[in-house]
């Protein structure tokens, strides 16, 4: 019996570290994707070659050919007509690394998954969940091309709606992977305590995910480069270039000042909900097991607030804006840990 237990533990270790590796790669993908957007590199590769696209240009002739394709799209013609080949190489490499990471994630996920399936190292439920994640990874690749395609003909940039979908799915994949890693890491964990009321932890995670989606709108519309003041938007709580009635229209999601307004106020709501969660956890001994997780969220949230303010004041300066996106990964990670521990209560 002990031998069987040890064999199961060894199998669990392989699966656990495989999922951890993919989780780290997906988080790196999110960071590189953010930098690809911030450096306006996302339209530099105008074709989606799933297999041949893995090899970058290797000589001047191939570089000039790739540059000639970029010259045909509106972004070059209307915004970057003075760009040199050397400058093109810079944005090309950002997009290439982003796509290469996507391919690596797909292969590193599928090959071990097939191996674990053949060796019957996973339960039926785990297999279904992991193949679902693989489907999401493949779907994410299609959404990425669908997003790029929106900027190749009539626009000088990608659709911020498609950008938001692309980023949101990336975080959903990250959340699923991290949840599975925690499951395999703490396979026999059972906690005596009390669950948070009304799925409060999941609601908080949902709000953070909504905020990330709106953050993609901010990035896609360059909404972080206006109203570079905080806590007011210039000298007003509400942007002075819009009307209050406009927030009830779908067009509000296409107005940079209103999108920044939404992003700010969802942040305030997240802070308010977290203070309520913190109050519950630290005023009831039944939630004592969640205090370390809540402290992690508190640290990540404070960091994210400070980076958000700095991003606004700096006009979305690239380094700060990228750090702000990295901060969202830490915040999501801490929140998933809290919801996972909460789910393990007997």
Residue-wise pLDDT tens digits, 80-119:
999 999 999 999 999 999 999 999 999 999 999 999 999 8
Residue-wise pLDDT tens digits, 158-194:
899 999 999 999 999 999 999 999 999 887 777 888 8
323 Cβ neighbours under 8 A, 6+ residues apart:
307
Token pair belonging to 203: 């609601």
Residue-wise pLDDT tens digits, 264-322:
999 999 999 999 999 999 999 989 999 999 999 999 999 999 999 999 999 889 999 99
Q: What is the DSSP letter of 81?
A: T
Is the confidence at residue 12, as pLDDT, over 80?
A: no
Instruction: Provide, rounded to the nearest whole percent, the portion of the chain with pLDDT above 90.
Output: 73
Inter-residue contact 38 to 219 (CB < 8 Å):
yes
Split at pLDDT 50, 70, 90, the class of 1 is very low
Is the confidence at residue 250, as pLDDT, over 60?
A: yes
pTM above 0.85, yes or no: yes
H helix runs in the chain, sequence order: 2-38, 60-70, 74, 85-118, 124-149, 160-185, 200-220, 256-282, 291-313, 318-343
CA distance 161 to 149: 13
Tally of CA atoms within 13 A in the half-sphere of 338 that contains its CB: 30
């Amino acid at each position: 019996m002990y031998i069987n237990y040890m064999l199961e533990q060894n199998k669990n270790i392989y699966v656990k570290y495989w999922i951890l590796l993919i989780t780290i790669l997906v988080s790196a993908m999110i960071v590189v994707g953010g930098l690809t957007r911030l450096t306006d590199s996302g339209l530099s590769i105008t074709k989606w070659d799933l297999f041949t696209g893995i090899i970058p240009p290797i000589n001047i002739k191939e570089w000039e050919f790739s540059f000639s394709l970029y010259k045909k799209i509106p972004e070059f013609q209307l915004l970057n007509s003075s760009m040199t080949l050397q400058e093109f190489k810079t944005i090309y490499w950002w997009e290439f690394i982003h796509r290469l990471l996507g391919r690596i994630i797909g292969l590193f996920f599928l090959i071990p998954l097939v191996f674990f399936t053949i060796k019957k190292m996973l339960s039926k439920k785990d297999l279904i969940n992991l193949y679902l994640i693989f489907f999401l990874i493949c779907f994410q690749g299609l959404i990425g091309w669908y997003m790029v395609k929106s900027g190749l003909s009539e626009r000088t940039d990608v659709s911020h709606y498609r950008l938001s979908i692309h980023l949101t799915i990336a975080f959903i994949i990250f959340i699923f992977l991290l949840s599975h890693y925690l499951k395999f890491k703490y396979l026999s964990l059972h906690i005596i305590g009390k669950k948070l009321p009304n799925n409060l932890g999941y609601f908080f995670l949902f709000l953070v995910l909504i905020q990330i989606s709106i953050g993609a709108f901010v990035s896609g519309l360059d909404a972080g480069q206006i109203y570079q003041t905080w806590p007011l938007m210039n000298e007003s709580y509400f942007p002075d270039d819009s009307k209050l009635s406009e927030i009830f229209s779908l067009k509000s999601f296409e107005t940079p000042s209103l999108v920044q307004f939404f992003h700010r106020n969802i942040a305030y709501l997240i802070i308010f909900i977290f203070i309520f969660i913190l109050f519950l956890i630290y005023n009831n001994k039944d939630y004592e097991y969640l205090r370390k997780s809540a402290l992690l969220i508190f640290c990540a949230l404070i960091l994210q607030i400070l980076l958000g303010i700095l991003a606004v004041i700096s006009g979305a300066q690239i380094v700060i804006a990228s750090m702000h996106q990295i901060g969202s990964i830490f915040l999501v990670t801490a929140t998933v840990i809290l919801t996972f521990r909460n789910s393990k209560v007997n």
